[in-house]
Amino acid sequence: MTEFATSPVAAAVEPKTVPPFAVITGAQVQQVLQGREKQVVELVEQTYRVHAAGDSVNPPSYFLRFPDRPTSRIIALPASIGGQVEVDGIKWVSSFPDNVSSGIPRASAVLILNNRVTGYPFACMEGSIISASRTAASAAAAADWLSQGRGRPKRIGFFGVGLIARYIHTYLKATAWSFDEIGVFDLSGDSAEGFKGYLERSGTGARVSVHQGPEQLIRNSDLIVFATVAGQPHVHDTAWFAHNPLVLHVSLRDLAPEILLASTNILDDVDHCLKAGTSAHLVEQMVGNRDFVDGTLADVMEGKVTPPDDRPIVFSPFGLGVLDLAVGKYVYDELARSGQLHVLEDFFSELSRYG
């Protein structure tokens, strides 16, 4: 009879325990993140580096769409990140644009964090603030790295002025950006005026102008933030970009393929960005290759790619689940250190295998 020896490695493994389960509210998320924008930008940059090094798992996002509600969707972003974060999890985020007309935000989300040893979830947290924060931090990081060869722009234009645009402005301001002029354009005049009011209350010293059309905004901005809910390209004229601006194409589907083909294209992740009908995906389908992609933001940070200053630069971030996990784990750790976690001790109740 064959004897099976006990592996010395297995014998040294610590006993597994079920972690306590915490629920973290949006108010707590805000409490942790407000005033720590610089730290969040640094965390996002480090997460991009870890992801580029291969110490992550970030499968394609899953889009739940509805035939009877074509403008709405719910997206699942599962991911796992190593490095110093070491957490698995998933973001479940909805986008229902019709909410805005009822006075409630378009997007809502929850983020689940899972223990890497047992797989047990140990936190459920409000995710829309985390999502907005990591998006804004990614945009601020890209603006910094991609402007280093040309100098920081002094004229910024916001094309679409919802929550994401507000967060991006907050993160730029917190990372020492200042502007002489801020342009605003939105299909909703009320939204544009509301964003102008926010900017003026924020203490900006810039001259704030509401533009009546997209061409005027683009031609008068050296840094352009697209943060719309557009489902297909609506900006087609390459001449509008003749002054070679830096474009943060956060909403991913605003620019026609000809704009990207005339620009330097930096993505956050090539495989992820070339999916789901993004502008970059449309370019790939049109030309049949990925030669138009110049690199990723991580490539720029590592010095592998140096964007030129003689053509527009377009940053297209698909928004990686690993970023949500990194920011979410940061929030969790800060609340745990301060003793402010709301723990549900009996969340997992069926823990005996045989009853």
Inter-residue contact 114 to 79 (CB < 8 Å) = no
Residue 314 reports pLDDT greater than 50: yes
* pLDDT at residue number 110: 98
- In whole angstroms, give the CA distance from residue 299 to residue 305: 6
Residue 16 has pLDDT above 90, yes or no: no
Asked if 90 and 76 count as a contact pair (C-beta separation under 8 A), the reply is yes
**Residue 121's pLDDT is what?**
97
Tell me what pLDDT residue 12 has: 54
For residue 3, what pLDDT is reported?
39
- Domains of the chain listed by start with CATH number: 20-130+321-344 (3.30.1780.10), 150-316 (3.40.50.720)
* Residue 1: per-residue pLDDT: 38
pLDDT at residue 291 above 50? yes
Spatial contact of 122 and 115, defined as CB atoms under 8 Å apart = yes
pLDDT digits 0-9 by tens, 30-59: 999 999 999 999 999 999 999 999 999 999
d(CA 59, CA 92): 14
Nearest partner of 298 among 190, 146, 189, 163, judged by Cα: 146
Residue 254 has pLDDT above 50, yes or no: yes
**Is the model's pLDDT at 13 over the cut of 80?**
no
Residue 63 in this model has a pLDDT that exceeds 70: yes
Region 267-277: mean pLDDT is 95
Amino acid identity, position 226: F
**Mean pLDDT score across all residues of the chain:** 94
Residues 21-34 have a mean pLDDT of 97
Mean pLDDT to the nearest integer, 62-90 = 95
How wide is the angle at C-alpha 243 spanned by C-alphas 237 and 247, nearest 5°?
70
Radius of gyration of the chain (CA): 22
Q: Where are the beta strands (DSSP E) in 174-251?
A: 181-185, 207-210, 223-226, 246-249
Provide the pLDDT confidence category of residue 78 given band limits of 50, 70 and 90: very high
For 295-310, write each residue's pLDDT tens digit. Answer: 999 999 999 999 999 9
- Average pLDDT, stretch 331-336? 98
Report whether pLDDT(83) > 60.
yes
Residue-wise pLDDT for 100-152, tens only, equals 889 898 889 999 999 999 999 999 999 999 999 999 999 999 999 999 988 89
Q: pTM for the complete prediction?
A: 0.91
**What's the confidence (pLDDT) of residue 15?**
77
Q: Write the pLDDT tens digit of every residue in 184-238.
A: 999 999 999 999 999 999 999 999 999 999 999 999 999 999 999 898 999 999 9
Confidence of residue 10 (pLDDT cuts 50, 70, 90): very low
> By CB neighbour count within 10 A (0-12 exposed, 13-18 middle, 19+ buried), where does 310 fall?
exposed
Q: To the nearest whole percent, how much of the chain has pLDDT over 90?
A: 87
